[in-house]
Structure 1
Amino acid sequence: MLQMDLTLYDPNGSKTSNVVPCGDSFCTDAYSGPISGCNQDMSCPYSITYRDGSTTSGSFVNDSLTFDEVSGNLHTKPDNSSVIFG
């Protein structure tokens, strides 16, 4: 077990989250080209079906994650990275 409390991610609760637009290079790369009918107001969609038949769908979001980076001497320092997920 992780031995920590986990909370669901809420993009509305983040000051750094942004919905990935369908014209973004991440989206066109993910779909191997432009999405038909894409306009500036559309987000980049995702839809996943798992092996058990359950599904999830929505829009990709880009956000900045802050975490502790462990150095070679086992000390930690804060670091961050931009991450896209759905």
Structure 2
Amino acid sequence: MMPLLRIEALRVAYGQIEALKGISLALMPGEITALVGANGAGKSTTLLAISGLIAAQAGRILLEESDLRTLAPHHIVRRGVVQVA
């Protein structure tokens, strides 16, 4: 089974501060996945990068093999990727 969402070697920085240092993960269809960690661990930064609200310096964000990094945030939402608080 192919991952629904796959992140490969994602790197994100705020100026000189590297918030994500090459994280990788896969979300499989039908599974529940939680992203947990301490304050400052990169949870929100990961979600912002997936949603296209912050630019990644390196890596890939693949939704069904289509790279989300090439899309504007409103196009990512149209593909079905949303955040709920």
Rg comparison, structure with higher value:
1
Q: Same fold (TM over 0.5)?
A: no
TM-score, normalising length: structure 1:
0.24
